[in-house]
Amino acid sequence: MQRYFVEQAYQTAVDQGLSLIGEDYHHAVNVMRMKETDQCYLVFQDEVAIKAEVTRILPETVELKEVAREEQTKELPIHVTIACGYPKGDKLDLVVQKGTELGAHDFIGFPSQTSVVKWDGKKLAKRQDRLSKIAKEAAEQSHRQVQPTVTMFEQAAPFYESFSGYDQILVAYEEAAKAGEKARLVQTIQEMSQGQTLLVLIGPEGGFSMKEVSFFETLGAKICGLGPRILRAETAPLYLLSAISYQYDLLEV
Amino acid sequence: MQRYFVEQAYQTAVDQGLSLIGEDYHHAVNVMRMKETDQCYLVFQDEVAIKAEVTRILPETVELKEVAREEQTKELPIHVTIACGYPKGDKLDLVVQKGTELGAHDFIGFPSQTSVVKWDGKKLAKRQDRLSKIAKEAAEQSHRQVQPTVTMFEQAAPFYESFSGYDQILVAYEEAAKAGEKARLVQTIQEMSQGQTLLVLIGPEGGFSMKEVSFFETLGAKICGLGPRILRAETAPLYLLSAISYQYDLLEV
């Protein structure tokens, strides 16, 4: 069943009358060809999700009424932010699409010291919009109750300043994997509790420099390996998110 | 360090003299510009991997000598075969590339009842070659000790006949995830032991039909959910392989 993210908190939306407008209106009426009594999911900014039924279709508004709350939780118990040193090409598209399906809470792009590509402010804003749209569509398709945010930093410094706001920080480092580091990811995610925040740092092609990793450590990051195989820049976040889901959604039940 | 898959068993290669020929010769000499005393990894058909050093470069052969065995194992303890009902477009490219990085032992494509695309024999052979090449390149980059095979079935029946050769069979089924099935994947992979084989069945876009899933069950397949979020056809195998790696490579150490 189709799912729409409404840019309001649940109670505000209820007070104003449940509706779809703008692009969601177009999608519901012209793409899905929804009619009265058809149902869809509405997901609100405060992570409340409901099943709703179309009551009336007006020229610019679909009106709906609530049928039931969505009971099953679709979100990971911890909030995972995937931060990628800008890789080449459109690899972030894949990270954001698949990472959203796999439960990431937020995405960040930043210029790591080893990033080859440089993004200026104007291009970055455009890119951020495009990635946000990919996240929204993936969140709808994968039945998420949160629409992940996407933030693209032009400078690294303001991103580093945000590190202190996270409960845990992991940096995926190829050299750690080669040296056989196995315990850190397991330890970290097993120790975290409901509602805590985890920042995961992923290097661009070729990984972070040793100097950059040491700097991240001074900011509280822990180095972790992701198994004995060398994963590409865009594969590492998918491994991490799958492992976290396996731990929380399947093992700890 | 560059890694080459040699189409011989280790002892045969040693007896005949270690060498790179054909495409690998071209890659080593013209792409990597390797010279005498440069080193690379050689991986043999029987999963032996060694570090080797170039001793001489001839017009069509790079000659090498063994420096050391590669001690760290890069392979999952169980052999995972990812079998996808033919999805649309080039999604299998992504599954084979990322799935190889994540440790799959073999890939299979087959016409599931819900597959929209149809492949005839000639196109299939071409596609199989292309995917095998993707697997080879990904295996080299990710430091695998096995080059995954790719088999594309034109008819489903001969594929079904192969089911009895696997120790365990899992079918990823969206309806199971919706119903909250959580235990099967964990149970299955925790019960398996070194060298056993696992076949994983993944549907095309929209998943398998209920009838097809029931049929797989009569052939010994167990239905499993992959967490509460709905994963696309090409994301499900990556989740599974990451979960299996997390279980074997990081948890059980």
Give the residue extent of every domain in chain A.
3-69, 79-251
How far away is chain B from the Cα of A157, in angstroms, using its nearest Cα? 32
Give A-chain residues touching B228 at CB under 8 angstroms.
Answer: 72-74, 143, 249
B113-148 pLDDT tens trace: 988 888 888 899 999 999 999 999 999 999 999 999
Q: What are the structure tokens assigned to B156, written together?
A: 């489903």
Examine the pLDDT at B38 and tell me if it is beyond 70. yes
pLDDT of residue A225: 93
Q: What is the mean pLDDT of chain B?
A: 94
Q: What are the structure tokens assigned to A203, written together?
A: 């290097």
Q: Which residues are bridge partners to A151 per DSSP?
A: A108
Place of tokens 């196995």: A182
Residues whose CB is less than 8 angstroms from the CB of residue B233 and which lie 6 or more positions away in sequence, other chains included = B84, B85, B87, B91, B202, B203, B204, B205, B207
Which of these, B240, B77, B62, lies nearest to B145 by C-alpha position? B77
Task: Tell me how many residue pairs between chain A and chain B have CB atoms under 8 A apart.
Answer: 124
Examine the pLDDT at A116 and tell me if it is beyond 90. no
Q: A3-69 with A79-251: one CATH topology?
A: no
CB contact under 8 A, A243 and B238: no
Position B95: which residue type? V
Examine the pLDDT at A138 and tell me if it is beyond 80. yes
Examine the pLDDT at B178 and tell me if it is beyond 80. no
Domain B3-69, second-level architecture: Beta Barrel (2.40)
Where b means 16+ CB within 10 Å and e means fewer, B178-197 reads eeebbebbbebbeebeeeeb
CB contact under 8 A, A231 and B73: no
Q: What is the mean pLDDT of chain A?
A: 94
Q: Tell me the percentage of chain A whose pLDDT exceeds 70.
A: 100
Q: Is the dihedral of CA A211, A216, A220, A225 positive or negative?
A: negative
Q: Tell me the percentage of chain B whose pLDDT exceeds 90.
A: 88
Least confident of A175-179, A189-193, B6-10, B113-117: A175-179
Element (H, E) at B101: helix B91-101
**pTM recorded for the entire structure:** 0.93
B180-219 pLDDT tens trace: 788 999 999 999 999 999 999 999 998 999 999 999 999 9
Q: Is the dihedral of CA A178, A180, A185, A188 positive or negative?
A: negative
Q: Which residues are bridge partners to A137 per DSSP?
A: none
How far away is chain A from the Cα of B143, in angstroms, using its nearest Cα? 6
pLDDT of residue A253: 66
A63-93 pLDDT tens trace: 999 999 998 889 999 999 999 999 999 999 9
Assign domain A79-251 to a CATH class: alpha beta
CB contact under 8 A, A227 and B249: yes
- Residue by residue, DSSP assigns A195-218 as T-EEEEEE-STT---HHHHHHHHH
Average pLDDT score over residue span A41-49:
93
pLDDT of residue B253: 67
Q: CA-CA distance, B64 to A216, in Å (whole number)? A: 40
pLDDT of residue A180: 77
Which of these, B242, B199, B170, B175, lies nearest to A246 by C-alpha position? B242
Average pLDDT score over residue span A204-231:
94
pLDDT of residue B179: 79
- Any idea of the CA torsion for B5, B6, B9, B10, to the nearest 10 degrees? -90
Q: Find the residue in A nearest to B244 (Cα).
A: A243
Q: CA-CA distance, B50 to A152, in Å (whole number)? A: 42
